[in-house]
């Protein structure tokens, strides 16, 4: 399961999202909300600008054309493979 050769030593965690710019990401928040949409920009606080966002809370999904997510509400983020 180890892929040692693929390791690039000077990579930083936030590069995960730099590579994901303009692609779809899914964001899991501390309050159990899940947001998916196109990542447009991020900063070192993990504040994220997301377009075409689906915000899923409990049993309800709300659509937003554009949102700014505050970074300190995030647990983890994943680029969506397509």
Least gap, CB of 80 to a copy of itself (angstroms): 9
Least gap, CB of 61 to a copy of itself (angstroms): 14
Determine if 15 is a binding residue for a copy of itself (CB under 8 A).
Answer: yes
In Å, what is the CA distance from 19 to each residue of 30, 33, 52, 64?
Answer: 24, 24, 19, 23
Task: For residues 79 and 65, give the distance between their C-alpha atoms in angstroms, rounded to a whole number.
Answer: 19
Determine if 60 is a binding residue for a copy of itself (CB under 8 A).
Answer: no
# binding residues, a copy of itself (CB under 8 A): 54
Beta-strand relationship, 48-57 and 60-69: antiparallel
Interface ranges with a copy of itself (CB under 8 A): 1-4, 6-7, 9, 11-17, 21-24, 29-31, 33, 35, 38, 40-43, 46-49, 51-53, 55, 64-79, 81-82
């Amino acid at each position: 399961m180890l892929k040692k050769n693929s390791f690039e030593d000077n990579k930083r965690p936030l590069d995960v999202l730099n590579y994901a710019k303009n692609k779809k990401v899914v964001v899991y928040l501390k309050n159990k909300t899940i947001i998916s949409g196109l990542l447009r920009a991020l900063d070192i606080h993990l504040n994220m600008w997301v377009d075409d966002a689906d915000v899923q809370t409990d049993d309800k999904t709300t659509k937003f054309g554009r949102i700014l997510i505050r970074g300190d509400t995030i647990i983890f983020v994943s680029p969506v493979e397509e």
